[in-house]
């Protein structure tokens, strides 16, 4: 026995990790690339056990964890600290530990904004149509508002969630938001700059596309999808046919993972390696 300690640093994913192979592949590839003795574990946590699971982060000396469905909102009450935007969104997708205390952050929207910025998109004064009002929509729209978009039209099937998001954006950000009920085919207004699908429509194995009038998409618009599998969703294919610039959920997933990685490890994520790992996983 050398007496050397071979234990790995642990990073987790708490929730209902049914299809999280993509995130595992990305993270494990990044650890390997940087020679880090870290492991990324997915853990099924039931709602009744969430508080205990968050306490266990400290007991197990973990670096942190991703949080997924259905815990992104409930988890807030169990954390020692929250970032300003996570508090504003009311949702956390990343916990990291510092000096034995838990910090909640939301990197979903930040990853999305990074992807748009990398594509050269400017935000100031832009008008956005946001399809959906769930967790991803909240994260994406709060970050869009923080980046300077002027108007956000929240189009959602469920009125309660749609109105609540529009109220949040109007009350807590500088953007003007309006809720539109998604009853029947939605026509995108001509003066829209950015169209975002933040619903789960089109996520494998679903092959549907959001019910919008695709002839209302103009080639001046940039059209984005939060769905990462498949990368080229039916929604993005339709938009590309109409000459729109498109942005897929693949780059958003990589970028949110890269931001979380930095919070956990303090290191810049090897983004190219992570992209290749995700491509392999999706193929
Ligand atoms: P939620 O369950 O919180 O929200 C789902 C949203 O989709 C709701 O607005 C819901 O509307 C809407 N919706 C679902 N089905 C339909 C339908 N048939 N017709 C109209 N609206 C529908 O999920 P999330 O917000 O957490 O996730 C949404 C998507 O974003 C997922 O596909 C997820 O994978 C993706 N995502 C991608 C990330 C990335 O990094 N690429 C990061 C996070 C999420 P209603 O309120 O009416 O039910």
pLDDT band at 13 (very low <50, low <70, confident <90, very high): confident
Q: Is 241 a catalytic residue?
A: no
Per-residue b or e along 79-118, where b marks 16 or more CB atoms closer than 10 Å to that residue's CB: beebbebbbbbbbbbbbbbeeeebbbbbbbbbbbbbbbee
Q: Mean pLDDT over residues 59-75, rounded?
A: 92
**Mean pLDDT, the chain, whole residue set:** 93
* Distance separating alpha carbons of residues 16 and 121, to the nearest angstrom: 34
| Residue 28, both tokens | 């494990």
Q: Which ligand 1 atom sits closest to the C-alpha of 257?
A: 40
* Distance separating alpha carbons of residues 156 and 52, to the nearest angstrom: 34
* Distance separating alpha carbons of residues 167 and 145, to the nearest angstrom: 13
Look at residue 2 in the predicted model and tell me its pLDDT.
Answer: 43
Binding-site residues, ligand 1, Cβ < 6 A? 69, 108, 111, 132-137, 156-158, 161, 182, 198-201, 203, 226-228, 249, 252-253, 256
Distance from the alpha carbon of residue 198 to the mean position of ligand 1, in angstroms? 6
- 226-231-234-235 Cα dihedral, nearest 10 degrees: 30
pLDDT band at 3 (very low <50, low <70, confident <90, very high): very low
Look at residue 16 in the predicted model and tell me its pLDDT.
Answer: 67
CA distances from 191 to 130, 167, 175 (A): 14, 22, 16
Residue nearest to atom 48 of ligand 1 (CA): 158
pLDDT at 140 over 90: yes
Residue nearest to atom 40 of ligand 1 (CA): 253
* Distance separating alpha carbons of residues 188 and 126, to the nearest angstrom: 14
Q: Which ligand 1 atom sits closest to the C-alpha of 69?
A: 26
Bond prior to 230 in cis (omega within 30° of 0):
yes
Residue 181, H or E segment: strand 176-181
Look at residue 283 in the predicted model and tell me its pLDDT.
Answer: 81
pLDDT band at 4 (very low <50, low <70, confident <90, very high): low
Three-state SS at 113? helix
pLDDT at 146 over 60: yes
Q: Mean pLDDT over residues 33-43, rounded?
A: 93
Pairing of strands 194-197, 245-247: unpaired
To the question of pTM greater than 0.95 for the whole model, the response is no
CA distances from 280 to 21, 42, 283 (A): 11, 19, 5
Q: Which of 63, 72, 126, 209 is catalytic?
A: 72
Q: Mean pLDDT over residues 31-39, rounded?
A: 95
Q: Mean pLDDT over residues 191-205, rounded?
A: 96
Residue nearest to atom 39 of ligand 1 (CA): 253
Distance from the alpha carbon of residue 119 to the mean position of ligand 1, in angstroms? 23
pLDDT digits (tens, 9 = 90+) for 215-225: 999 999 999 99
Report the side by side order of strands in the sheet with 151-156. Answer: 176-181, 151-156, 127-131, 194-197, 222-225, 245-247
Q: Mean pLDDT over residues 5-23, rounded?
A: 73
Residue nearest to atom 37 of ligand 1 (CA): 226
- Higher-pLDDT residue of 56 and 5 is 56
Residue to probe by mutation, ligand 1, list 74, 134, 141, 259, most atoms within 8 Å of CB: 134
Q: Which ligand 1 atom sits closest to the C-alpha of 108?
A: 42
Distance from the alpha carbon of residue 226 to the mean position of ligand 1, in angstroms? 8
Look at residue 9 in the predicted model and tell me its pLDDT.
Answer: 78
pLDDT at 5 over 70: no
């Amino acid at each position: 026995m050398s007496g050397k300690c071979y234990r790995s640093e642990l990073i987790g994913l708490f929730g209902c990790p049914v299809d999280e192979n993509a995130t595992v592949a990305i993270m494990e590839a990044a650890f390997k690339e940087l020679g880090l003795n870290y492991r990324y574990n997915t853990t099924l946590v039931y709602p009744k056990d969430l508080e205990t699971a968050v306490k266990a982060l400290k007991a197990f000396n973990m670096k942190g964890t991703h949080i997924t469905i259905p815990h992104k909102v409930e988890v807030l009450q169990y954390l020692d600290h929250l970032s300003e935007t996570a508090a504003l969104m009311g949702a956390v997708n990343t916990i990291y530990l510092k000096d034995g205390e838990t910090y909640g952050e939301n990197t979903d929207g930040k990853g999305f904004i990074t992807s748009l910025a990398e594509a050269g998109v400017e935000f100031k004064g832009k008008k956005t149509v946001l399809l959906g009002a769930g967790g991803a929509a909240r994260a994406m729209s709060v970050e869009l508002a923080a980046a300077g978009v002027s108007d956000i039209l929240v189009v959602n099937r469920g009125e309660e969630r749609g109105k609540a998001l529009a109220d949040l954006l109007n009350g807590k950000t500088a953007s003007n938001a309006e809720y539109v009920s998604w009853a029947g085919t939605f026509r995108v207004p001509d003066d829209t700059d950015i169209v975002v699908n933040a619903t789960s429509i089109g996520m494998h194995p679903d092959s549907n596309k959001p019910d919008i009038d695709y002839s209302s998409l103009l080639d001046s618009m940039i059209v984005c999808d939060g769905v990462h599998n498949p990368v080229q969703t039916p929604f993005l294919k339709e938009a590309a046919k109409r000459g729109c610039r498109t942005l897929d959920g693949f780059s958003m997933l990589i970028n949110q993972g890269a931001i979380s990685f930095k919070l956990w490890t303090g290191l810049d994520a090897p983004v190219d390696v992570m992209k290749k790992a995700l491509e392999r996983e999706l193929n």
